[in-house]
Amino acid sequence: MNYASIILIVLAAVILWIVAIYNSLIVTRNRTKEAWSDIDVQLKRRYDLIPNLVETVKGYATHERELFEKVTQARAAAMGAKTIEEKGKAENMLSGTLKTLFAVAENYPELKASENFG
């Protein structure tokens, strides 16, 4: 075996290794995009359910107008977020306002018994 054969074998091995790494990166990128799409679907579902939740609670807790406005604003901010960082901050804000909404709802036993609430 001469040096040219050895160089060709090593070069072929390096090329195959590069192709394998490239393919694994593409697979990882596609899985990441798919995972973000799944997250977006769940967030959209969450955003669609929030108005119904607010309306249900409004019927029982009419004096909590400021809280309802905060929930609505947080939902709008979350829906309008463009980057991952913006979405993260907006989702944290929305989660906080929803926790407050659920805490208020606990003060109304007839609300917790409602079919629409839960």
Domain of residue 27, residue span: 3-112
Q: Which token pair is 85?
A: 């960082």
pLDDT at residue number 111: 66
Count Cβ atoms within 10 A of the Cβ of residue 94 and give its class: 0-12 exposed, 13-18 middle, 19 or more buried: buried
d(CA 51, CA 58): 10
Q: How many CB atoms lie within 10 A of CB 12?
A: 10
Instruction: State pLDDT tens for residues 5-61.
Output: 999 999 999 999 999 999 999 999 999 999 999 999 999 999 999 988 888 887 777
Q: Is residue 58 part of a domain?
A: yes
- 57 CB contacts (<8 Å, ≥6 apart)? 64, 68, 101, 104, 105, 108, 111, 117
Residue 117 lies in a domain: no
User: Rounded to an integer, what is the distance from CA 93 to the centroid of its chain?
Assistant: 13
Q: Into how many domains does the chain fold? A: 1
pTM of full prediction above 0.75: no
Establish if 98 belongs to a structural domain: yes
